[in-house]
Structure 1
Amino acid sequence: MSVIALVSGKSAGVTCSALALALSSPKPSLLVEADPAGGTIRAGYLGGEGNASTGLHRLAAADRQGTLAREFSQHFVSLDRDNTGQRLLLPGLTDPTQAASLSRTWEPISRLLGVMDQTGHDVIIDVGRILTESETRLSTTRYPTPLLHRADAVLMVVRTTQASITTAAPAMRVLREELAHHGTGSDALGLLLIEEGPFNSSQVQQYLQAPVVGMLAWDPDSADVFTHGAYKKLPRTLLRSARTAHQTINELVTRRRVQLQPAAVPTLAGRAS
């Protein structure tokens, strides 16, 4: 079980990547559309199912009324075609102007996502393109920064093209500083590559100075289904590569959790022996 946040320096396929990880997780999963630019999965992949009475945009009011913890799971919708409840979605904002109202709610939401992790879910967070307030800080008013602070891993989604790699570099610098000083450490930062361009993982890793912890196939057919609707036949290439990516992502999460555990304090019985 893990909490994974996906980000980008510029549009790089974060939503499709997050959806692929959520649908391919070996465990029950919750996908959170936290991109302040707004959510697209309900209108796209789910073909417009559901209504605006549920979703992230309703949680700010619940927080103000003191009912956030009780109402939180009521805003989940199913990503499963058979509604088994194994794949859940917290739909995103319906209007980007709603993002400011959540500035004080991201922190309690991050704690509730930690509870979902403890109940056996992989939590995948689509945080979209980063928004900064300085060269070393993420925005704390327009961006869900607390979700990154508490995540087990923060993965920069990068296409293996010159343009995507170049635009990721300044974003990586900001994230590295942010996580080092306000998160669980800069070693939470990794790369999730989309194999679109000519550069290999070693080249991208060396340029961006971060480990590659997952590779996703360049699969325009799957991306089209994820973007425009589940009524089409779902190609499997992207999902297969996402299942493989889960293995290395989980290795990173496990290693970091062990490292972050407080050292055991010797007991009196242990000293006596």
Structure 2
Amino acid sequence: MTVIALASAKSSGVTTSALAMALSSARPSLLAECDPAGGTIRAGYFQAQITAGTGLYHLAVAERAGEDALAQAFASHLVRLDESGNRQVLPGLTDPAQAPALARTWPALAQVMRVLSDEGGYDVIIDAGRLALDSGRLHPTLTPAPLLHGADLVLLVVRATDQSLALARHLTEPLRNELTDRGTGADALGVLLIEDGPRRAHEVSDALRLPVMAALPWEPDTAAYLTDSGRAPRVRRKSALLGAARTALGHFQAAASRRTLHQQYPTAPPALPVQPTPAPAQLPAPAAPQVAGVLQRLGQGRVDPRV
């Protein structure tokens, strides 16, 4: 389906938004908590019921043993978000000091996520956390840069406040350049707006010179439930936030499909003869059998995704 990376200049609701999307997806979904500064889902949503023995850091250890070990570890370190097993999460780091160990793991992990999306039919949602720059580029240790490079869409999460826009503004041009040079193209970049503040979508778009691809309502009760496992809203299934998250995923899927079609079949000038369209360089290479085997492991025990 689609690989979507969410990031921010500062805490703007990235984890809450990512979790809302994963929970509300109509298709099988995977949330990968890949913030090098550390994950919060383990202590928040799961109320510390998941120990440090499960999560992202262990993939760095497995990757050094080879692709098959990484595939096995990836599947075994996922945690179910629902009873069906159609919605799962990879819990993040428990200590930011673990982040440097993942520098060589990010590219392999990006390939696994690509396989899950393209061959497994998953919506893959990456929580990339707060972005850090180094000489105008994504920091190699403080950001999961290869995951953003391989994503269909990279969404800068901002609140509808002047403060949030001021912090996000300095990231837009470096991100455009990064995705142009190393990712799937500058048009992969957009904004996910959190409607907590006075600014309208068109004002945010003008300020950042980026399209607002979707907006999520500010719903404190549901947000508290998702981030802190607080008291569940009485009508969670009718939550405006979860409903909007599901709609947003549909928008993102459509946008990613349009980008793929445009890359595969670019519009040729009418006066020129039609030439065979070469395969775009950013299309993923066929997955190694060991990596593709993660699909079989993930499929065990999964039920009909129409839940």
Contact 1:106 1:146 in 2 (8 A): yes
Deviation at residue 43 of structure 1 after TM alignment: 1.4
CA RMSD between the two structures = 1.5
Deviation at residue 69 of structure 1 after TM alignment: 2.1
Deviation at residue 192 of structure 1 after TM alignment: 0.3
Between the two proteins, the alignment pairs up a number of residues equal to 263
Q: Where in structure 1 are there 5+ consecutive unaligned residues?
A: 267-273
Deviation at residue 50 of structure 1 after TM alignment: 2.4
Secondary structure at 1:238's aligned position in 2? Answer: helix
- Counterpart for residue 254 of structure 1: 257
Q: Distance in 2 between matches of 1:211 and 1:74?
A: 37
Q: Distance in 2 between matches of 1:68 and 1:88?
A: 17
Q: Distance in 2 between matches of 1:13 and 1:78?
A: 22
Deviation at residue 261 of structure 1 after TM alignment: 2.2
Q: Distance in 2 between matches of 1:150 and 1:246?
A: 18
- Counterpart for residue 245 of structure 1: 248
Deviations 1:3-41 (A, max 9, x none): 000000111110001111111112110000000011111
Contact 1:21 1:239 in 2 (8 A): yes
- Counterpart for residue 126 of structure 2: 125
Q: Distance in 1 between matches of 2:250 and 2:113?
A: 21
Q: How does 1:45-60 map to 2 (within 5 A)?
A: 45-60=45-60
Secondary structure at 2:134's aligned position in 1? Answer: coil
Residue 80 of structure 2, aligned match among 57, 73, 78: 78
Secondary structure at 1:157's aligned position in 2? Answer: strand
Q: How does 1:38-49 map to 2 (within 5 A)?
A: 38-49=38-49
Contact 2:222 2:233 in 1 (8 A): no
Structure 2 CA distance for partners of 1:231 and 1:47, relative to 1, 3 Å = farther
- Counterpart for residue 185 of structure 1: 185
Q: Distance in 2 between matches of 1:94 and 1:220?
A: 26
Contact 2:36 2:141 in 1 (8 A): no
Deviations 1:150-205 (A, max 9, x none): 00000000101110111110011211111011111000000000001111111111
Deviations 1:234-267 (A, max 9, x none): 641210111121222112111111122267838x
Task: Point out the more displaced range, 19-28 or 183-192.
Answer: 19-28
Tell me the amino acid that sits aligned with residue 11 of structure 2.
S
- Counterpart for residue 176 of structure 1: 176
Q: Distance in 2 between matches of 1:79 and 1:138?
A: 30
Tell me the amino acid that sits aligned with residue 165 of structure 1.
L
Deviations 1:186-229 (A, max 9, x none): 00000000001111111111111111111100111111111111
Contact 1:133 1:139 in 2 (8 A): yes
Tell me the amino acid that sits aligned with residue 120 of structure 1.
G
Tell me the amino acid that sits aligned with residue 171 of structure 1.
L
Deviation at residue 231 of structure 1 after TM alignment: 5.8
User: How high is the TM-score relative to the length of structure 2?
Assistant: 0.82
Q: How does 1:159-174 map to 2 (within 5 A)?
A: 159-174=159-174
Deviations 1:126-160 (A, max 9, x none): 0011011112x111233210000000000000101
Contact 1:103 1:142 in 2 (8 A): no
Contact 1:132 1:139 in 2 (8 A): yes
Q: Where in structure 2 are there 5+ consecutive unaligned residues?
A: 267-274, 278-307
- Counterpart for residue 97 of structure 1: 97
Q: Distance in 1 between matches of 2:256 and 2:77?
A: 27
Deviations 1:54-109 (A, max 9, x none): 110101110112211232111100111xx210110000001000000000000000
- Counterpart for residue 271 of structure 1: none
